[in-house]
């Protein structure tokens, strides 16, 4: 059984290209949830972490993601549910974001870009 690949998921869903660059599509007209805007590397960390987390929770197949580009360097991440009847409404959706909001400001810029690359290329 092949391991889940964040890189393959992002490319297949047109959220990033083969070079690991984010692709803004802004295709969700009324998303249920959104975060950002974040600088490009930060957005990649948030996006990869969310995809990995939701995959581990068995929720990824019920979600769609979209990126909106605020300018050349900042992206907002939007998430919507495909079938809301499958959701666990008691789940605290913000726990992953709260953790990252705490950690990223304490990291040096080079560590942020390294982590973003590792999340994309190695997972």
In a 10 Å sphere around its CB, with 0-12 CB exposed, 13-18 middle and 19+ buried, how is residue 34 labelled? Answer: middle
Mean pLDDT of all residues in 111-118:
80
CA-closest candidate to residue 24, choices 16, 35, 34: 16
Q: Please, what is the average pLDDT of the chain?
A: 83
Measured distance CA(13)–CA(11) in Å, rounded: 5
8 Å CB contact between 109 and 115: no
8 Å CB contact between 58 and 19: no
Integer Rg of the chain from CA? 14
3-state secondary structure of 113: helix
Q: Which letter does DSSP use for residue 72 in this model? A: S
pLDDT tens string 83-103: 877 666 566 667 767 777 777
Measured distance CA(56)–CA(50) in Å, rounded: 10
Q: What token pair was written down for 11?
A: 């490319």
Could you give the percent of the chain with pLDDT greater than 90? 33
Greater model confidence, 7 or 107: 7
- Whole-structure pTM value: 0.81
């Amino acid at each position: 059984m092949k391991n889940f690949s964040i890189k393959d998921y992002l490319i297949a869903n047109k959220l990033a290209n083969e070079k690991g660059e984010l692709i803004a599509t802004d295709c969700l007209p009324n998303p249920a949830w959104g975060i950002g805007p974040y600088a490009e590397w930060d957005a990649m960390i948030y996006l990869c972490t969310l995809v990995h987390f939701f995959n581990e929770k068995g929720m990824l197949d019920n979600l769609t993601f979209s990126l909106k580009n605020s300018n050349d360097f900042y992206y907002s991440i939007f998430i919507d549910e495909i079938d809301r009847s499958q959701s666990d409404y008691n789940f605290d959706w913000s726990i992953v974001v709260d953790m990252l909001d705490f950690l990223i400001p304490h990291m040096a810029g080079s560590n942020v870009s390294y982590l973003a690359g590792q999340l994309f290329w190695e997972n």
